[in-house]
Structure 1
Amino acid sequence: MVIPTFVSECQECENCVSGKTNMCLKYPLSFTGLMPDGTSRMSTKGQKLYHVSSCSTWSEYMVVNVNYLVKLPPNMITSGSFPLPHASFLSCGFSTGFGAPWKEAKLEKGSTVAVIGLGAVGLGAVEGARVQGAARIIGIDKNDKKREKGKAFGMTDFVNPDHHHHHHKSVSQLIKNLTAGMGVDYCFECTGFAPFINEALEATKLDMQLDQLLTHQVPLVDINQALELLKHPDCVKVLIKI
């Protein structure tokens, strides 16, 4: 029993052994629809067919390079404790979301998190954040039925941006409203809707305390005073107002 994936792993190249990325150098991500050797193993009525995402999972049978397969542990199959239909979710979607707070963000215990979009990827991100010990997980979705689904995976707060009392407020504003205007430590955009990428950035706390650097301000004519201020023990940065 195997799970096909469109991201390969040779377990030998620099990327595969780094532990930091799974973008294999030997078998790179490709959407050409062809096998790694540039051929196709499928045809119909004499015409060549293409392998979608290297897998062709819509076909009854498929020829796949072994590096694009993950073998299920034998005990998972024989014990019957893990339903095989559930195994199909581990290839793409849920795993993508789960890995984001776990492998990519390396989310710390006690963090605040927002997840925009509660589909398979988003619910995976919610679960991953919960497992990593997030203290608060805010889910955002236009479908009210996702409220219960999100809670089942560990969501603590739910926001439907389409509700009438949220009109004229951006997603990032709604998230900040729930966090005393601060925003969250981590925000995961799981819809694929391009404008929400900016909303995710806007909803995230600033990492740099720049206001703590500014201790003095002087006009340009007092530039000499600025040099003197730098000698003071309570001076960090002086802003020259031109």
Structure 2
Amino acid sequence: MAVIVAGLAGIAWFTLELMPPVLGFDDTDNPGVSLDYLRQHPQFYALAGITLFIMAIAYIVASFAVSDALAPRTSSITRRSLSALGLFSAAFFFMHGVLRDSVGPLLYIDSVNSGWGESAYLAIQMVGLHGFAQAGLLALCAWGVGISAAGARSHALPMWLCVLGLVAGLRLVLLIVGSFMTAAEIDLPGYLWILSIALIPFGMLWWLCLGVALLVKSRRNHEQRPVSPAR
């Protein structure tokens, strides 16, 4: 159930992150534009923070639930390593949630001095969205790829789900390729950025499907469990 909650929370978080351009505030890296957005719609940042807290807690529980689902046909070191990735992801999303939940102090600083407000926003934007959020997504992709590989190898998960998990993990490949292209001073094609963004909600939907698959598997195992004879 925790995996389902995490997937739903992830979809909600991604939707909330899209609110600025939907409401006409296109350049979220522009502190002036974003502060104007926060003055008019501070509730969306606060809701994003709450959603990220729920995601973090759900992924903590999910890291152990998935580990149990992969047992006993997956080695202990593999399951522990995957759980560690899940915990890292949860920690990163939690910290991003803390920064998203700081909209009140941010607006107060801006009310005292607009220059300070813009500086504070840029710090939150770089550390939060471009730092903790990206780290959380990176760990989440690696975790999903590991789960898919382990699930396919041990037949603990449906093959279609494992294939979709590897597709969702393409974001990890794009991040690595993008880093090499940047280091080589090669301009990134626009479609790579669009694909990278599109893989975020796709990945969240994959976690939702994983949660449903684990729930169905758990119920089947419960139904097939032999009933001990009454004494």
Normalised TM-score (structure 1): 0.26
Of structures 1 and 2, the one with the larger relative CO (CA 8 A, separation 6+) is 2
Name the larger-Rg structure. 1
> More helix per residue: 1 or 2?
2
